[in-house]
Amino acid sequence: MLACAALFSLATLAGISAATNANRVVRVNVGVFDPEGHAIAGLDRGDFSLQDNGEQRSISAFKALRPSGKLLRTRAASGYWISNRPDAEHDVNRPATIILLDAQNTGPQYQPWSISQIARFTALLGPEDQIAVYQLRQDGLFLLHEFTGNHQHLLAAIAPEAMVHNAKTNKWQLDYRRIRVLPASSPFGLSTYRALERLACQMSRYSGRKNLFWISAEFPRLFPDGKDTEFAADATAAAHALEAAGVAVFPVDVRSPVPAVPFQPQPPVIGSHKPAVNDRQFVRNMNAIADATGGKAIVNRPELAEAIVDTMRATQRSYELDFEVPAGQLDGSYHDLRVRIRQHGLKLIYNHGYFAQVPRRCSPDEQFDNPEVGISARVSIEPDAMLLLEVRRVGEIFLHAMGARAQWQLSITDANSGAVLATATGNGLQLDVSVKVPGRSRQLRASVREEASGRTGTVTLPLDVITRAEMAPDNETPQ
């Protein structure tokens, strides 16, 4: 893991509020719902009021957010596409959705259940949905899959050893009995806090709103909840990073009621993973994290997949309220926020606090992809075992002074050895290359560079996931 001090240095935190003349502009994202949980549209600035530590603040900027009509009208591209940015293809105004599978703090008796529910969640995604999946293990934080909406490939990334090919339907299915469990750790060592900080820094590189669904059996104390005010330095650093990046955290409790079949209980490796549900401190920690970041705790739900999908869809409409904090009031303390709305009977979800300081900037993490230049790649397997890669430039396109598109370079490398396997140059929106993959290669990396601006972007292509999802095993049996 990287030391906390090394995480903050160069890259601008995209999507967070910037400092202007030593003041800070704080952004509050507010979801408004009726008693049935339906998002309320059509509100304006005058419907809201905002207090900071009891002091009335003037709303300096207001914006109503909703998914782009272009996205809703656009059919999903055929084939398997993977992107280094959420919704990079459409440049739409909707939250980036990240799934964090926390095996480090989830006992083995809960891991098959949690993985099966996330597998079901991916099957419920619509053609317009895109998610990325990370996993926290004892040996670190890992990217399992970049942004995609392809169920088969997400399934291959989440539970590769449990995939079984159905010859009748020519699709992969999840065999729950084959899900591999990982060892858990003592609850919330320093590595967990540092992993959260690293993930927050990576998410800060995406513009707009970000939703983090944290799938775990244990949750830490990260933010003040009215009773606890003292925190370890690593916990504080993680909380600062989440708040600065504008990440809404949705803690998902996997200790919910679990059907006895097909899962068999396993003895926990750590006594702290108690089967009790709704322990007061446990739920209080979940609610404190959710309230502080603008998320929502999902607890004691037997159908986690449906709960996550419903929550993800409900947050696609919201409102942004900005207010400015004078430099003299940036004392570094944690401030409570209170948002009120003129209409009665509505429920608000928003970040209930912030740290009164100019947000620090975190350096790029070389282990993860660089989304500075948005790219999407479609991967298909040719009959001669070659891979055909179609790489598209997306988002903002750098133009010459005369209005022509700038030339850009594409290189395909082996992510482990660094060997260059293919290159191409052009000034269109897409470049196609065929790649002969080394026998032991597990990951490729597509890298682009704009010659005029020098901006770069990368996306990781997991070969083990691609081949597992695209190719049937030699000796398969119908399921």
Mean pLDDT to the nearest integer, 459-473: 71
Residues 121 and 214 in one domain: yes
Residues 308 and 387 in one domain: no
Residue 453 counted as domain residue: yes
Residues 5 and 22 in one domain: yes
Average pLDDT for the chain: 80
Strand pairing class (131-137; 96-102): parallel
Residue 476 counted as domain residue: no
Residues 141 and 99 in one domain: yes
Q: Does the pLDDT value for residue 402 go beyond 60? A: no
Residue 302 counted as domain residue: yes
- Domain final position from 334, 367, 400: 367
Residue 217 counted as domain residue: yes
Residues 360 and 435 in one domain: no
260: which residues sit within 8 A by CB, 6+ positions away?
none
Which of 374, 338, 346 shows the shortest CA–CA distance to 457?
Answer: 374
Is the Cβ–Cβ distance between 354 and 325 less than 8 Å? no
Residue 99 counted as domain residue: yes
Q: Please provide residue 300's backbone torsions phi and psi, each rounded to the nearest 5 degrees.
A: 60, 45
**Domain, as residue range, for 245:** 1-367
- Omega before residue 262 within 30° of 0, cis: yes
Residue 314 identity = A
Residues 108 and 256 in one domain: yes
Most confident of 186-200, 214-228, 249-263, 438-452: 438-452
What are 172-229's pLDDT values in tens digits? Answer: 777 877 888 887 776 556 788 899 999 999 999 988 889 999 999 988 877 755 555 4
What is the domain-level CATH number for residue 439?
A: 2.60.40.150
Quick one: pLDDT at residue 72? 43
Sort 404 into a burial class: Cβ within 10 Å, 0-12 / 13-18 / 19+.
exposed
pTM value is 0.86
Residues 101 and 220 in one domain: yes
- Domain final position from 348, 367, 386: 367
Residues 278 and 393 in one domain: no
Residue 430 identity = Q
Quick one: pLDDT at residue 81? 87
Residues 325 and 195 in one domain: yes
- Domain final position from 309, 338, 367: 367
3 state DSSP class of 381: strand
Residues 242 and 108 in one domain: yes
Is the Cβ–Cβ distance between 274 and 295 less than 8 Å? no
Residue 477 counted as domain residue: no
Q: Does the pLDDT value for residue 432 go beyond 60? A: yes
Residue 166 counted as domain residue: yes
Residue 73 counted as domain residue: yes
Residues 354 and 383 in one domain: no
Beta bridge partners of 165: 172
What is the domain-level CATH number for residue 346?
A: 3.40.50.410
In the chain, the number of structural domains is 2
Residues 182 and 118 in one domain: yes
Quick one: pLDDT at residue 49? 96
